[in-house]
Amino acid sequence: MVKKERIKEIKKEVEKEFPSDFALQQVHIARKLLSEEAKEKKMSFLEYAKMQARDAENAVHDV
């Protein structure tokens, strides 16, 4: 799990990169968070994203 301080840093970085596009900011924040979480689990970004998608799909089917 990415620490709250790091999340704040990422938000500030992305807001500077895309100051007038909130939607694009959200996409980049999510991508950066997923990337850091993948790194923590020693997985590639793509592997981690696929795992997250499978978990979300399974959660929907379990309801």
Three-state secondary structure of the chain: CCCHHHHHHHHHHHHHHCCCCHHHHHHHHHHHHHHHHHHHCCCCHHHHHHHHHHHHHHHHHHC
Overall number of domains in the chain: 1
Judged on CB neighbours under 10 Å (0-12, 13-18, 19+), 14 is buried
Range of the domain at 33: 4-62
5-56, pLDDT tens digit by residue?
999 999 999 999 999 999 999 999 999 999 999 999 999 999 999 999 999 9
pTM beyond cutoff 0.85: no
Return the pLDDT at 4.
Answer: 94
